[in-house]
Amino acid sequence: MEKHVISDLEISTLLAKKVEIEKELETLLKERAFPHFSSKKFIGDLGEYYAKINLDHLFEPNTLRVMDVPNAPCDMQGLLKDEIAQEWGVPKEVSIEVKTRYHQLGSPHLKGLHPDKFDLLVFVSLNNDYSCHYVGILKNEDVEPDKQMRISFSNFASKVVYPKNIKFEAHR
């Protein structure tokens, strides 16, 4: 009988450790009131977590929340502080889409964008070790996807409303 799948014990052992670590992360993040972390959607959920902890200070206390279900119309919602909403020219109550890229070389491409479904687009870039490399915010009016509903982040980096003084530097 032919063997259809070839396995590598060393790789399989490391992947098993990764699965165990992801389960531990899932438990820890749920304990920290992050409702829907899933190891199957590891990169996206990790990006939402980094978005929440990095942007919480821009919102009224305890109002920035991650949606309870992963297929909600947006990823997060919150009430911006008055001065932030005024400065950015957006409603106080905002819907947020989070797009995360893991150590993408060059200019990250963000896909599946539907600006009619969010007020703010948050871009999270992760380093090779999954640490947070960059978090930036664009207003929906500044997001102009192509026919395939995607953008190259570098084309819009100058329109970032937050952070103002930190430029995105591409991975090399």
CATH number at residue 83: 3.40.1350.10
The overall average pLDDT reported for the chain is 87
Q: Does any domain span residue 2?
A: no
For the chain, the domain total comes to 1
Range of the domain at 155: 42-159
- Is residue 130 assigned to a domain? yes
Q: What burial class does residue 32 get, using C-beta atoms within 10 Å of its C-beta: 0-12 exposed, 13-18 middle, 19+ buried? A: exposed
Give the C-alpha separation, 99 to 125, whole Å: 9
Whether 96 is in a domain gets the answer yes
Instruction: Classify residue 34: in a domain, yes or no.
Output: no
HEC string for the chain: CCCCCCCCHHHHHHHHHHHHHHHHHHHHHHHCCCCCCCHHHHHHHHHHHHHHHHHHHHECCCCCEECCCCCCCCCEEEEECHHHHHHHCCCCEEEEEEEEEECCECCCEEECCCHHHCCEEEEEEECCCCCEEEEEEEEHHHCCCCCCCEEEHHHCHHHCCECCCCCCCCEC
Is 135 among the domain residues? yes
- Partners of 102 in the β-ladder: 126
- Distance (Å, whole) CA 122 – CA 110: 10
**Has residue 6 got a pLDDT over 80?**
no
> Which pLDDT tens digit goes with each residue over 104-119?
888 888 999 998 999 9
What is the per-residue pLDDT across 59-91, written as a single tens digit (0 to 9) for each?
A: 999 999 999 887 899 999 999 999 999 999 999
φ/ψ of 5, rounded to 5, equals -120, 130
| Domain assignment present for 115 | yes
Residue 40 reports pLDDT greater than 80: no
